[in-house]
Amino acid sequence: MRAVAQRVSRAEIRIEGRSIACMEQGLLAFVGVQRGDGPEDAARIADKLVGLRVFGDARGNMNQSLLELDASLCVVSQFTLLGDCRKGRRPSYGQAAEAGLAEPLVDAVVEAARERGACVITGRFGARMQVELTNEGPVTLLVDSRQIF
């Protein structure tokens, strides 16, 4: 499982022009599920996202997690994170999990983050979404449950 996490000062998700989720300060995480992923990958990603110390403390150092600031986590499913661009010009998505496996695992990330105390908003699995965000910093991190990077 892979995630691209961005520290944001605000984020909003729209479907067909209607806002379905909005948040202020927190992390926006695009999450992709890989073939072979399971519940342990979802738990590992949730732990990492909730615990990342990427928010400033009183001295401005990145020493606080979203839990310490009562900030939000936005989880958006994005299979294209598993796109392989090494050959040709068209990405291959052969390593992305099928929707029947991916959707419950993305849901498991959300539930695990909530169990750890995070306020979580989400996109809608499989929907064509417009995601608007203000990346704060900018801070953007890559997270992989298999610790590839």
Token pair belonging to 70:
């009562």
Contact indicator for 26, 72 with CB cutoff of 8 Å: yes
Looking up tokens 């695990």 gives 112
Q: What is the DSSP letter of 13?
A: E
Which of 77, 71, 22, 81 is closest to 50 using CA atoms? 71
User: CB under 8 Å to 70, separation ≥6 — which residues?
Assistant: 119
Active site residue 149: no
Contact indicator for 74, 28 with CB cutoff of 8 Å: yes
Token pair belonging to 93:
């998505």
- Residue of 64, 79, 147, 149 with catalytic role: 79
Active site residue 80: yes
- Residue of 78, 125, 130, 140 with catalytic role: 78
- Residue of 80, 122, 140, 147 with catalytic role: 80
Task: Give the residue numbers marked as catalytic.
Answer: 78-80
